[in-house]
Structure 1
Amino acid sequence: MADPSAIDLSALTEEQQLALQQFTSVTDQNLEAAVPLLQKCQWNAQIAITRFFDGDAETVDPVVEAARAPPPPQNSRRTETLLDTISARSSRRAAGLQPAPRVVPTPESQLTQPLPFPLSLIFLPFSLTYALFQRAFGVVGYVFPFLPRLLARFWSGRTSRPSRDASRRPLAPRDTAARFIREFEEEHGVTDGTLPFFEGGYAQAFDIAKRDLKYLLVILLSPEHDDNALFARETLLAPEFIEFVKNGGNDIILWAGTVQDAEAYQVSTALNVTRFPSATLIVHTPEGLSRLKT
């Protein structure tokens, strides 16, 4: 046997020394040959003895070598998944956006509430009198066409600013859109179809934009504001804007209304619009439809 001083037995633990003693007593091997084999076998004397008598003492066990190998250096770079990156970017990008509400106007059946039958009987004489006077004034206005305009100017000068829906009959969303388009074209002297206004309600335009992945551009006007005519003439009727919204590749749904109508007024309240005229772009985000107010 070789000189035992070549192996530092004091560096071995008690279990390792016991395994070495058991291995050498059975195999009669020297320490220089026994220690490397026991190290390969993780100091398991039974496995080392079996491998010794099987003649594969020099065979390298990949599992043992992998266990003995030092762990790979940790990469200091932060690991993140693609979903985490998209979520983080989406949250940062959507920081300036707010959820866009879906506004459903009052149903047409609820726009006018009929009076109960007893009250209708009480007010029947007044209704008949009003109808007779209305017909009489209609005949006078037909004979003297200047009188209605003169009375309208006199009355508007004595009354305060009209309310939101003063003298405007509430209509269904599609009829309200048709009335707005007709009034806009007549007021600004443009032909039918100059601007591709959506001929329906806001809720319908909202649903189509959500279903077809399109942008919804909401234009809200107020005739009581001085900038309304200037905005319509220099912005909405600008050739560049008309070409942009008419381009099908831009996927723009143009919905517009005046706050004199109930639906547009409800939309302005839901979108938190406080200044008129206003343009609000409703876009798609991972959280749903969001609005970007300008």
Structure 2
Amino acid sequence: MTDLSSLTPSQTRALSQLRDLTNGGDDEVAMGVLVSVDWDVQRAAEMIFDGHVGAGNSGGRRYEEFDVDDSEQGLLRPREPSTSVLSLITYPLHLISSLVRFIFNFLRIPFPYIPFLSLNFYRRASGRTTVRRGGGIARWIRELEEETGAVCAGSSGIVDATGVQVDASVDASAEAGPSTLTSRHTGSGSNKLLPPFQLGTYDSILRLCQSSFRIGCIVLVSAEHDSTADFKNTTLTNNEFVQILVDNNIVCWGGDIHDKEAYEASLKLGATTYPFVAFIGMQPGRNFTSSSGSTTTTASQSTPALTVLSRHFGGSACTSSALGMHLRETLLPRVKPYLDRTRTHREAVERERMIERELREAQDRAFEETKRRDKERMLKKMEEEKAELQKKRAEEDIQRMESERLERQRVEALEQAEERDRWRTWFRQALPAEPGVNETIRIAIRMPDGRRLMRRFDANTDTLDTLYAFVDTELVSTSVSSSLLPSPSYTFNTLHALLSSHLSKPNEWWGFTLLSAYPRQLVPWAPDTLLGGIKALSGGQLVVEMASSRVIGNGKNTNGKGKGKAQEEDEYETESSDED
């Protein structure tokens, strides 16, 4: 007779819940099932309803025995959330431990395993695992690709229900078979491939292996070990080894123990020498006895548990040939058949449940359809209101941006006009005096407003800078820029640098062009060009034409047509003819 008084309150509550789900039954059998599944009521109920309890040893499958490291069988399950008074008491210790471990990892000092500091009774509430794209595992994969010049096989574009990024082209429930390795970075041009490492936490990888009945390959390295570089460049980039992993749909995960997630995984897997490779997978449960301690239940034997299948320590044991031979000759022939059978059975059970669920849903289809249409009408109305609000906000943003753009253009135009006036002031100060009659060129210049200017230039010293500066000072009256002082750094060399580095067309900066009267020929500005060497000036007659794109004054465009129009549109103030 079972002694119910020896059970804890939580165990008594679990036994009561299972009794309610099964409408009574033998308490001793129920306790045996609960003990085999660590008092998980849901798993115990599934075992009873699926018919695994009481089937007898004769009805179970026999598995071929082989050397499997099952010392941690059942201990690899992802941590479940727990809350208790002890969690609140040990929470400060958890914070101190995390801070010390962070400092050690930042200084790249191996953190020793101290049981007291590793206590962690506080665990966060369960929820969907968030993939940290910029975290330690993602950074390690990126550095591994840069170091080896290879890319990970497969594509990591989809996050599954466990929170792991998986290959979009591989179905977790599909049977593995021959495949062609493809790069997850298209267009990289690299022929070397790495195992299809997946993003996510160590616990999420365990959940993926547990839910999909796939073999997991855990790779842990340490940058401080001498054999790590050779392991990365020879073993992890070996095409034959990578092909085996991809063909058999093996879940690959890895990291450097200097990262927190990889370090915690090394503690759980008992890694002591690096590089370290471990293979994990679901295997039949072993040696789980009932509460009486006298018999082993068939249900517990047939319940699969996540198991460490093999561990490989050091560079000599982690070569591509050794790992490939282990996979081909030992692990895959003996583990894969069980995983395939279990997966097939699970899929059959899921299909049956899906059929039953579809039959139940068909009974309420009419009601759900009406409910769906009402919901769609309500959502459509909400979406229309939301779209209208977004449209209104977008129009306001466009208007605001346009106003800001126009204001910026206005300010820039004013700043350019002030800068231009400072140059004109400097031109008036820097223009040389009109030379005598010897070795001079006498040039008549017709301005856009109809004025005709005459001036002599030294053919051997004056350049196009002098000619253009003289015309520029005559376009605007002295009063416009008299209050603007030029910068001490203004020189003709500074002007050359300004026009050659910032403007593709110097005439746009000057705002005008010079042409010979007959024959009509353009006299473009060019730095350090003597006037005596320009053939177009031999006639001594020049015409000033305003550039249509020139922006001056208050930002208006000039076209240089007619005296009145030039003063009205170009905002130029010309000097009177009696100043000639």
Q: TM-score interval w.r.t. the shorter chain?
A: 0.3 to 0.5
Which fold has the larger relative contact order, with Cα–Cα distance below 8 Å and residues 6 or more apart in sequence?
1
Question: TM-score with structure 1 length normalisation?
Answer: 0.46
Question: TM-score with structure 2 length normalisation?
Answer: 0.24
Which one has a larger percent helix, Structure 1 or Structure 2? 1
